Chain A
Amino acid sequence: MTIAVEFKNLNKTYGAVKACQDISFKIKRGDIHALVGENGAGKSTLMNLLGGLEQADRGEILVHEKAYHPTSAKEAFACRIGFIHQHFLLADNLTVLQHLILNWPGQKLFSLFSNSKLLKKVETFVKKFNWTIDLHAKINQLSVGEQQCVEIIKALLANPDIIIFDEPTAVLAPQEITHFLNFLKQLKSEGKTIILISHKLTEIQEVADQLTILRHGRCILTSETSKLSLLEIAENMIGQKLVYAKDEFQAIEKKQNLIFIKKISLPLRRNEILGVAGIEGHGQGLLIQLILTEAKANSVSFADIPEDRLKFALFEGMSLRDHMILRHPQLSQYGFIRKKHATAVTQKIVEDWDVRPRNIDLLAGQFSGGNQQKFVIGRELFHHPELVLAAHPTRGVDLGAQQMIHAALIKQRADGKAVVLVSSDLDEVLKLSDQYVILYKLKLFGPFKKQQLSETEIGQFMTGSHPHQKKYQLGALT
């Protein structure tokens, strides 16, 4: 078996941060090779080096056993390396076809192009992989899964040998994930080499032949996936034994209503975690807005852990203390900031929530995603709110932080708060919530008890194909 990619003593530093330290491993041709590690472990950096977006400080990369020094994404493209990014780089206002034409390999500015030729080619792809996608729909009308298809088609048009997928399943519904994993296998059967970055270890176990674990910029091990258990993988990722926090998930019988949201006839009750499942973009934002408005109208104190922390919860250029001051009026008096008090309070949050580095004067943008999220949650829970609204609270955070956040939500429940957990990660919803609702096309379905539906049924609700869907409709958000 030949080697598709080999990394030799690769090093890359950004300022004081060592993103990659002496990374060496091999990827076999025709394999699905998974790359796992916590956030900031160096996975993205490594793939950026391979994709030509970054240049290594030291060390080299061999592709098909030839030296390879890409200086731009274009060169990587020429070496037939395809890269499907986690965040899609799509032009919103174009149709799928227009977008593909724009990205047609070898396309020159102003060169004439026959649409029909491309159309035929794309159609064969779509047929081959059993996708349903309207080539004349505008990109911004597509679901996230469909957008990902476009991104994949875009990469496949260049007929790459090596394809990098960065967190491809993070945004997909369960059925879509199954579909996607089958698609990966199909690609493999065609002889492509696939590099898969994922947080979801079960998926990796299902499809990956080989797996490399990265931690703090170092390569911990490379092995065949089948030789490692899930627990072993997880422990190697975080570098210590996993101690599962005892789930204080006791059944609580008497539950008071905190607020009742008339519009969707949904009660938010104390001592309860209400899960909201559904594919992203089906109205999560609106639901959150609705709940927030209701909370404000009923003057219920609330914690707001928003779906996108950089967009809605953080000011990258401001310090952690400033965030606390802005969020909590009790840290000021007559409009003057009580700096000493604010400092003490912020310091406590940073310590309680293990935010690293423990420097409250650092700007929010200088922390890693996981630490940002821990700070946001700490900040939001500071004033002991009655209602906790958590949207995708564990997105893009490492395993350690995930556990911490989950434990915190469970504790809020035990303390008599009403908790709403919005997540596109179905496992998370099923694990934490007392009952849950499902969002589909701005409509709410449910509520369902924990074991009420099978995973397939949930998938049907999420895609609007359940035979009794109408019966369970609670209300619409529009």
Chain B
Amino acid sequence: MRKNQIFRYFAVCFFSFGISSTVFAAIKIGLVLDKGGKDDKSFNTSAYEGAKKAEKELGIELKYVEATDHNSLETLHRNFAQKKYDLIIGIGFAQTDAIKKVSALFPETQFAIVDGEVSAKNVRSLLFEEHEGSFLMGSAAAMKSKTEVIGFIGGMDIPLIRRFQKGYDAGAKHVNPKVMIIHNYIGVTGEAWNNPAKAKEMAFSQIGQKADVIFHAAGASGAGLFDAAAEKKIFAIGVDSNQNWIKPGVVLTSMLKRVDVAVFETIKSVTEKKFQSGIMRFGLKNSGVDWALDANNEKLWSSAEKQKMTEIKKQIISGKISVPDYYKTK
């Protein structure tokens, strides 16, 4: 009996050796996630979900990996390219250099990068108009604030997050010029994306200064804000993914950065053989950036407020409201 088991175990070992190299005819997509990893419930999760959706609906073969260190980023892209993957998607600005380098070495392979800009024939850069989305969030916060004090918690202090902040400030002032906005950044290194404890501390401090709506753009650190908000019974606003479900009733809304849509659309373009390189911008216009309204936060919004939000959104799209862009005004 026991012998039999051991034998079976070895048999399994040997057989699985063979299986791993089985070749599928399907289109192969490689997804390289940022250091935050696929479970950050935010940016990477969103990308991962888009790719998963494509796997389910488009019948592609998906392989995702998470980066360990800087040198490994380039290796991961190279390995995907060497294995003749059809499309390799890099998530996050940190991968810009790696994709720039590898895409030049493998001109036959198609690449996409989210949040980074690489101009090459085989790279599509997926950029988001974050400032538009966060303008909406600023408006929402100012609308819902009773104390006329609102907060902003950024992750890593980089231009991308400054862009969030600038849009947010403008949106709040647009609704209520008297509103006071408190800003905090968690840190200056990659660790800032993954430090919920510090986010919580900052949230408490902002609440202490009478903030009653706080928006975060801090990746996985945002969890700390949600905890603090739930404890002190104030509103929090999520980012990137739809985070309304995390603390229903506490999360006022989420600024959707539809990385999933961008990823899905890019994959789809490859399956339909319509892949185009160049820069693709996702803003309010094409629903690449949006605000989340679902069963979890429906009750928090009166129809008048909803009306007002839709109105602002329309005005941004039509250009009636011009949202300041940190990248351009720097």
Do chains A and B make direct contact within the complex (CB under 8 angstroms)?
A: no
Give residues in A with beta carbon < 8 Å to B: none
Give residues in B with beta carbon < 8 Å to A: none
